[in-house]
Amino acid sequence: MKKYAEGNDTPIPDLEAGVMEVLMNYDRSGNIKELAYVIERAVVFLHLEEFHLNIYPKR
């Protein structure tokens, strides 16, 4: 998040309780680029103050 926030002059969002656990346990089929894409889009386009579970895609 820091990487994308600093590169786009946006604040680094806080994590809602439980977000880190969901992100760490999410089955991405070995594709870390999917996770990076979701985080980048959330930081750059949503300008969030807090990263919520409801913005992460469900499977």
What is the rounded average pLDDT of the residues 1-21? 83
pLDDT of residue 56: 58
pLDDT greater than 60 at residue 59: no
What would the pLDDT profile of 43-52 be if each residue is shown by its tens digit?
887 776 777 7
One-letter amino acid at 36 equals A
- Please provide residue 51's backbone torsions phi and psi, each rounded to the nearest 5 degrees: -85, 115
pLDDT of residue 49: 74
pLDDT greater than 70 at residue 30: no
One-letter amino acid at 42 equals A
What is the rounded average pLDDT of the residues 2-31? 80
